[in-house]
Structure 1
């Protein structure tokens, strides 16, 4: 098991961008985390045939947002990698979904003291079963959209994914958020 909150794959090269999402170059993941450099991340809502979303619980030793629920799994875009290629790779690595057919939904900005990123949210349809990566994911299950709304309210949820899924729900299922 990796050390708690250590940078995973610290030498991996990641795409660094500016506040307008223009590519600036590359940095190692360790440099990106140490300097809170702006980078790109993919996110994917995984829906089953009943319209439920798959929600993962991250492992306790993740470098960011350990033990948080993640309703839109994904990852940091590597240097020279597209958002789409990253999302396909991350879904395969984290959940065992091969050849994911992605629908692009929207791009969004997220910033806090831990990370600053441009994210792209995709939608993927799958009923599973999934093979979860024990280095990334503690557990996961499908949740109804109402359960996801409650999870967003009560947490703990990865705040970058929460921003994406909140907007997704506003755009795709606004009736769920009228009383929230």
Structure 2
């Protein structure tokens, strides 16, 4: 496996350099990542389980596809690449929903958030996704409230407010 070269970001959201992914993970260097929620025309959200071989939060449920922004890569282009790789979503516009910052003992990054509306089939990348299904926003909020420990904590942190606004009918 090739050790991807990742863009490093400062606290202000500016690119400050790059490092191999393995170094970024080992030193918990601040970087950027795309985070894409896929919704269907009915407004449901695609919830999937990460494989147990993922380097961060293996085996947990995730409401967002995504991944690191590579050195020299525009975050929007990274989002298009990631949602296609992980879930097979292609050829639809991604709506940018701003940025959010996340940090814990495993990872520190600026999340570039996007939403895609997709009516086609989902095709999992077997190295990254082991299961998935469409859930209503109501069901997702219930899981956020009752089963938060089963969902990737960074996705919960960067998406919870937006998902709750969808549930409240504000978008």
Q: TM-score scaled to structure 2, two decimals?
A: 0.93
Is residue 158 of structure 1 aligned with residue 158 of structure 2?
A: no
Structure 1 residue runs of 5 or longer lacking an equivalent are: 1-8
Match of 2:62 among 50, 70, 82: 70
Hey, what does 2:117 align to over in structure 1? 125
Distance 2:139 2:157 in 1: 16
The match for 2:128 is 136
CA positional deviation for 1:152 = 1.5
Which of 79, 100, 116 aligns to 2:108? It is 116
CA–CA separation in structure 2 for the residues paired with 1:164 and 1:128: 26
Count of aligned pairs between the two proteins: 168
Partner of 2:27: 35
Residue 175 of structure 1 and its aligned partner are, at CA, apart by 5.7
Alignment of 1:43-122 (within 5 A): 43-122=35-114
Residue ranges of structure 2 left out of the alignment (5+ in a row): none
Following superposition, the deviation at residue 10 of structure 1 comes to 6.0
Q: Cα RMSD over matched residues? A: 1.5
Q: Is the 8 A contact 1:10 1:28 kept in 2?
A: no
Quick one: distance in 1 between partners of 2:168 and 2:139?
15
**SS at the partner of 1:45?**
strand
Q: Which runs of 4+ in 1 moved over 6 A?
A: none
Contact 2:35/2:79 (8 A) holds in 1: yes
Alpha-carbon offset, residue 164 of structure 1: 2.1
Out of 4, 11, 21, which is 2:3 matched to?
A: 11
- Partner Cα separation in structure 1 for residue 126 and residue 21 of structure 2: 20
Partner secondary structure for residue 84 of structure 2: helix
